[in-house]
Amino acid sequence: MHQFLVSVVAFIVLIGIMVVVHEFGHFLVAKLCRVRVEAFSIGFGPRLFGFKYGETDYKVCALPLGGYVKMTGENMPGENLSTEGADREAIQTQQADPGAFTSHPRWQRILIGLAGPVANFVLALGLMWFYYAYINEVPSVQVKTTTIEWVTPDSSGAMAGFKTGDVIVKFDGVANPTWEQVYEHLKLNANQYISATVQREGQLVPLTMHVPSAARNDDFDLSDAGILPEMLPGPISVAEVQPGTPAATAGLQAGDQIESIDGHPFHSVTTLLAYMQAQQGKPMHLEVLRQGKTVQMTATPAKLDTSWKLGFATMPPPYENKPLPLGEAWTKSATFCKQNSWLVFEVLQRLFTHKVSVTQLMGPVGIARAAGDAAEMNGWLPKFGLAGEISINLGILNLLPFPILDGGLILLLLIESVMRHDISMNVKERIYQAAFVVLMVFFVFIIFNDVTKLPIFTHVKP
């Protein structure tokens, strides 16, 4: 219940900010072009409070799911108007109104359409610039190369030829990738083959990997591909040992540092967990550093919470804030936006070429889960990063040349500019009616897809 409430609140806040900023972009340019804006609303539904200034009603409404801008004459036939009866008269009246959206030059209407997505790009750029310039959380110590800490036997990574200690220098065409980029490209290539190059003992070794089909799932992790990244140097630090667990039975104590397991110098509990699952509960030899002395012990994992564990908590890695100079923060923010923008285009391209399944897309329920997870994570990067990514996604998707979206409006205006006359109202009505049906069907599919990925459903699958 707690996780559900956190996800709902985080979703409302996140999407609310994204949509309000998007609509503010339309509002600002509409005002500059002297289009009559009848309302600027935060939220939907019944009006709670607000004020009227000039011709615009600024208000807050009961349903806090974004907001909207209402411009005179912006309603399109087939979207929420008909070309027959009273609606036809309303359309003709709006066309004669100099303050109406449709009465302004096409180039102004195109600018108004572009302003919403541009506002989302500016928001993402601004958020990440603020994060890098004033927060920028970084591990006090970290491994900066894409070094593999361990490879699970018989996994996709092992069959591809990856080995412990390899440094990935190229992955699916990306040179010197980060672990985030490796993960993203695995997700994009579910059940396909990709190429990689690793540096091993001073030599470059080309490899080909088959990405497991599980990469389509929301809970897919690098460990599911059998590749465990080396993120931090140093041993695994024990913060707490739970009584009655294998760790307590073996003699492990708070403050111990696990230097090796069966001779493997693991640096993170994630790798240790993957190793225990692969060993299926076999006894392990631990070399532990305690108060400057080395202690040898044997621990036998037990099934705890459906997976093999020892039963101890680790010390969180030390982080520190290292704000960047304003110029460097701006460059890093621009790089973040550029990489995430190209990722959206790559996903779209792979969707149209059937290399990525539409079931991998995330809808409102999936976004709510991601927002809830980010809200409960330590640090500010998950929160700023997710907000930036969603803002970029919202901006790009709204620019797609599909009727009802901003990109569809812009496309029709460009066509009319080339034709030098307006498209027939009847034709527009049919276009928007068809687009509305397609959009609703797609929306229902995405919601259904999101719901089937909820833990309550995935846990009952065979």
Catalytic residues: 23
Q: How far apart are CA 370 and CA 17, in angstroms?
A: 16
Is residue 179 within 8 Å of residue 168, measured between CB atoms?
A: no
Q: Which amino acid is at 412?
A: L
How many residues would you count in the chain?
Answer: 462
Number of Cβ atoms within 10 Å of the Cβ of 151: 24
* In the block, residue with structure tokens 């590749």: 227
Residues contacting residue 424 through CB under 8 Å, at least 6 positions apart: none
Q: What are phi and psi for residue 272, nearest 5 degrees? A: -60, -45
Closest CA relative to residue 293, chosen from 253, 249, 240, 246 = 253
**Is residue 172 left, alpha or beta, with left meaning phi > 0 and alpha meaning psi from -120 to 50?**
left
3-state secondary structure the chain: CHHHHHHHHHHHHHHHHHHHHHHHHHHHHHHHCCCCEEEEEEEEEEEEEEEEECCEEEEEEEEEEEEEEEECCCCCECCCECCCHHHHHHHHHHHCCCCCHHHCCHHHHHHHHHHHHHHHHHHHHHHHHHHHHHCCEEECCCCCCCEEEEECCCCHHHHHCCCCCCEEEEECCEECCCHHHHHHHHHHCCCCEEEEEEEECCEEEEEEEECCHHHHCCCCCHHHHCEEECCCCCCEEEEEECCCCHHHHHCCCCCCEEEEECCECCCCHHHHHHHHHHHCCCCEEEEEEECCEEEEEEECCEEECCEEECCEEECCCCEEECCCCHHHHHHHHHHHHHHHHHHHHHHHHHHHCCCCCHHHCCCHHHHHHHHHHHHHCCCCHHHHHHHHHHHHHHHHHHCCCCCCCHHHHHHHHHHHHHHCCCCCHHHHHHHHHHHHHHHHHHHHHHHHHHHHCCHHHHCCCC
